[in-house]
Structure 1
C-alpha cells in the first residue's frame, strides 16, 4: 500500500468521541467494556483468508505467504483460515486471482461452521451474494449435491457467480428472487442460511463512513424485512432441519427481537439451539431491550463485539424445526440439456490428456449457445424458481478452436498431462496482467503452437495461446485480474 493510501485510510478511521456521539451510544449498557469497544471500532480490520480446500491446504497457503515475507496468523476456531495485516491487498495476489484462497472476514466465516453440514444435504442460501458463505457451504458438502444460492439483485448475483467460478464450485444453482417470496414449489431444505440484509453497523471497521449514514429508522425498517425472510426460511426448512440466521449489526431490533417474534409465531414448532464456538469470546443474546423482556432462551444467540476477538460486529442464531412435523413432497427437478456433448468432451479429454472416464464424475449440460456447463454428478436443482445459472461455465464451443474457460482450466488443471506450460515468476505476472510475452527456448521446444494451460509452481492459472510467431498470449479474464505488479 502506498503512503498516500495509508494516509487516507488513517484519516478515515473513527475516533472514540465520534462513536460516543453517534447512534451507537444506545448500546453503552449492552457492551461489557465501552471504551474498548469504541477503540476497536477505530482500528482497521485484519485481512482474513481461507484456503480453497479443493486446491490447496492451509499449510501450503501459509508457505506461499511466508515466502512473500508475511507472517500469517492462524485463527483459533477457524482451522482453514489465516489473518494478515489490514493493509494487505489479497485481491492483487496471483494465488488469489486463480482461486487458491478467498478473503472473508473472520466472523462472517462462522455461520457455515455451525450448520452441521454433511454431503447429501439440500441447502438454501437465501441472500447469498457476494458468495463467500455459499462457497464455504459448497465445500463443506464436498462440492457435491445441491446448493441453491439466491439473491434479489442481478448485479450482486453476477459477482457471486464470479466468485464461485474462480473457486471452482460445481454444486450450486443460482436464482434471482425476493427470498421472502421464495416459492413453495422449490421444495424444502435440510439446511438454510439467512445472512439477512441489515443496517450493517458491525462493518464500521471496514466502512467508517457508514457512521454518518446510520439512521434511527434503519433498525425498524430492516427488522420488518428480516421477519419476512426468516418466516419464509421456516416454511422452506424440512422438519428436523436447521436455519442459521445472522446479521452484521448490533441492533436488537434486527437480531433478538426478530428471532423472538418468529419463535412466538411458530408456537413450539421452532427452537433455539445453543451455540458453541471454541476460540471465540462471545456474548449471549440480549433478553431485555428498551422495556421489552424476551424469553430467556434468547440468551442462546451469540453476539460478537469487535473488541473481544478483533473482528467486526456480528450476531448468530441457530434454529431447529420440529422433526415431528410432516414434510412436503419433493420438488419437481429442472430439466437440463445433457445430451449430445460427447464429441466436445472427448476432444477436450484427448487434447489435455485427462484420464479415461474423467467426465463421469460430473453432470454436463448446455445452458447457453456459448458452450457447456459443468455440475456435480448428483446436483439436482429444482424447476422453480427459474435458475439464473447451474454450475460452472467450463468450455466454449462457439469459438474456433473450442477452448476451456479460465474456470474450466483451473478445474481440470490438476489432472492435465498434455499442453501444460509451466511459467516462470516473471511470466506469471505478465500472464495475470493479460500481456503478451516471449517463451523460453525450452518452452518452445516442448510445446507446439496452440492452446495450453498455463501454470505456476504446479497450480493452474488459465488458458494461454502459444503463437507460431513465437509469443505467448494471455487469455486471463480482465475481471479476475487484480494484479498490477509482481507479488511474490
Structure 2
C-alpha cells in the first residue's frame, strides 16, 4: 500500500515503516507534508559579487522574497519560482538557486573555522555545484577549495556553475574518490555529500519514488562506505569530515556515522543549532554521535541528513613535496604587467601558467595545492585568462565572470532587453561601443565579453551557454 494524494507523490509503506523510531519522525505530519501542493524555492546570493553598499535582497528577481534562510546569511526563500534563465543576474553569477536545507553544509563549515586560518578543503561529490559555491563563499581568506566530480557530464555542469560564481581560489577535478587516497593528508576539511537513494527529494521530485527500494538503499549504503574509506586517507589528522545525504534512511545516515566511529576511529562534533530552526538534532543509536535531520514538516526545506566527524590526532601532517608529481606546465613569457592589466591587485601572489595555448592566473596557495595533486585530472586551477596567441590574450569567459577581473576595464551597461539579446547571441543594437575588448555589464555585474570593431560589435558570449528558449 502507498500513501497517495492528488498533489503529492506515492510514498511506499516499506519506506515509511523503515523510518519509524527515527529521531523527529512523525508519520502523519511527514505524509501530509508530501501530499501538500506547496513547494519551497530558495536561493543564495553571491556576496563576492555584491556591489559596495548593495542590499543582497536587491539582486533577487521581482518582489519574491518571503523570508530568510536562518542558517545562511545570504539565503532567501521565495514566494514563487520565476524563470531564472530570463534573469541576466543569474547568468552573471549573482545568486545560486539552491535548496535551503542544503545550505546547512556551509553553516557547518563556518562553525569549524578557528581564528580565520586558511584551509584546504575538498568537496568530493560536488556536482552540480551548490555546496561548492557556498563553501567558496564562507572559507577564510587564502583558503583553497578542490571541487571534484567523477562523472564527466556532471563535471561539465559543475565547472559551468563555478565559472559563473567567479571564485579564483578553486581547483576543479574529475576523479574517482579512490584517486585521492594516495595524496597523503592534504585536506583540513572534506565534504562528502554522498550519492544516495534520494528519498529526501521525494516531495520535489515525485519520479524519484519509482527508483526507491530497500535494495537500492542497501546498495547506496555500501557505496557510501567505499567512498568514505577511499577519501579519508587524504584528510589531515585533526581535520573534519562533513557527511551528508538527501536520504531519510537510517542505513545511509546514522548507521554510516556509527561505522565511521567504530571502524575508522572518527569522533563526533556538535554544532550549535537553535531549536526555532526546526532542525532535528539527535544522536546516532550505537555511538551517540551528534547528527542532524531535516524533515519537510518541520523546516522550510527538503530532506537532509548531516553529521560532522573529526579525524583523531592533533596534527595535520603535510606530505613531503617529493611524494607528488608536479603539474607539467610552461612558465609563459608574458609582460610583467599582463595580470595586473586584467585582474584586481594580484600583488605578486599570482603566477601565470600556460598549458598548451591556454593561459591561467594561479594564486600561490592554489598552485601549491595543485602541485600536490599530480596525477589527478585537473580541469581548472585558478582563473582561466584565455588563449595566449602571438603575444596577445584572447580573454576567456571565465575571466569576465571572475570576482577578481579588473573593474576599470572598458564596459558597456546594458538594459534588460539588451542583456537578454546579448545572452541569446543576438544583435543587441548597441552603439558607440569602444574599440577592443569590452565587458557587457548588467546592473553592475559582468555578463561576458564583446569586441568593438569600429562600426560593429562581436558578441563573445559562449555559444553553448546562450539562452535558447523564447
Count of residue correspondences: 452
In structure 1, the residue matched to 2:118 is: 120
Query: 1:451 aligned to 2:451?
Result: no
In 1: Cα distance, 2:254 partner to 2:406 partner? 49
1:235/1:13 CA distance change after superposition, 3 Å: farther
Query: 1:50 aligned to 2:40?
Result: no
In 2: Cα distance, 1:164 partner to 1:230 partner? 24
Q: CA deviation at 1:337?
A: 3.0
Question: Would the aligned equivalents of 1:436 and 1:473 in 2 still touch at CA under 8 Å?
Answer: no
In structure 2, the residue matched to 1:465 is: 451
In 2: Cα distance, 1:204 partner to 1:81 partner? 22
In 2: Cα distance, 1:456 partner to 1:180 partner? 43
Q: CA deviation at 1:420?
A: 1.6
Query: 1:430 aligned to 2:417?
Result: no
Query: 1:194 aligned to 2:185?
Result: no
Query: 1:281 aligned to 2:278?
Result: yes
1:326/1:476 CA distance change after superposition, 3 Å: closer
In structure 2, the residue matched to 1:3 is: none
In structure 1, the residue matched to 2:460 is: 475
Which stretches in structure 1 are left out of the alignment for 5+ residues?
A: 1-10, 288-293
In structure 2, the residue matched to 1:272 is: 268
Question: Would the aligned equivalents of 1:49 and 1:101 in 2 still touch at CA under 8 Å?
Answer: yes
In 2: Cα distance, 1:427 partner to 1:216 partner? 52
1:481/1:12 CA distance change after superposition, 3 Å: farther
1:131/1:81 CA distance change after superposition, 3 Å: same
Q: CA deviation at 1:204?
A: 1.4
What is the RMSD of the two structures over their aligned residues, measured on CA atoms?
A: 2.9
In 2: Cα distance, 1:80 partner to 1:340 partner? 39
In 2: Cα distance, 1:273 partner to 1:142 partner? 20
1:86/1:205 CA distance change after superposition, 3 Å: farther
CA deviation vs aligned residue, 1:289-308 (integer Å, no higher than 9, x gap): xxxxx32513x111111111
Q: CA deviation at 1:88?
A: 2.3
Q: Secondary structure at the match of 2:90?
A: helix
In structure 2, the residue matched to 1:309 is: 299
In structure 2, the residue matched to 1:240 is: 238
1:44/1:375 CA distance change after superposition, 3 Å: farther
Q: CA deviation at 1:84?
A: 1.2
Q: 1:372 aligns with which of 344, 359, 362?
A: 359
Q: CA deviation at 1:143?
A: 6.1
Question: Would the aligned equivalents of 1:204 and 1:210 in 2 still touch at CA under 8 Å?
Answer: yes
Query: 1:342 aligned to 2:328?
Result: no
TM-score (norm 2): 0.86
In structure 2, the residue matched to 1:41 is: 34
Q: 1:151 aligns with which of 149, 156, 160?
A: 149
Question: Would the aligned equivalents of 2:122 and 2:187 in 1 still touch at CA under 8 Å?
Answer: yes
In structure 2, the residue matched to 1:61 is: 56
In structure 2, the residue matched to 1:259 is: 257
Which stretches in structure 2 are left out of the alignment for 5+ residues?
A: none
Question: Would the aligned equivalents of 2:385 and 2:396 in 1 still touch at CA under 8 Å?
Answer: yes
Map 1:160-199 to 2 at 5 A. Answer: 160-199=158-197
In 2: Cα distance, 1:304 partner to 1:181 partner? 32
Q: CA deviation at 1:104?
A: 1.3
Question: Would the aligned equivalents of 2:100 and 2:300 in 1 still touch at CA under 8 Å?
Answer: no
In structure 2, the residue matched to 1:363 is: 351
1:161/1:139 CA distance change after superposition, 3 Å: same
Q: Secondary structure at the match of 2:420?
A: helix
Q: CA deviation at 1:82?
A: 0.8
In structure 1, the residue matched to 2:411 is: 420
CA deviation vs aligned residue, 1:243-300 (integer Å, no higher than 9, x gap): 111110001111111221221113xx4211122233521224465xxxxxx32513x1
Question: Would the aligned equivalents of 1:73 and 1:83 in 2 still touch at CA under 8 Å?
Answer: yes
In 2: Cα distance, 1:64 partner to 1:225 partner? 40
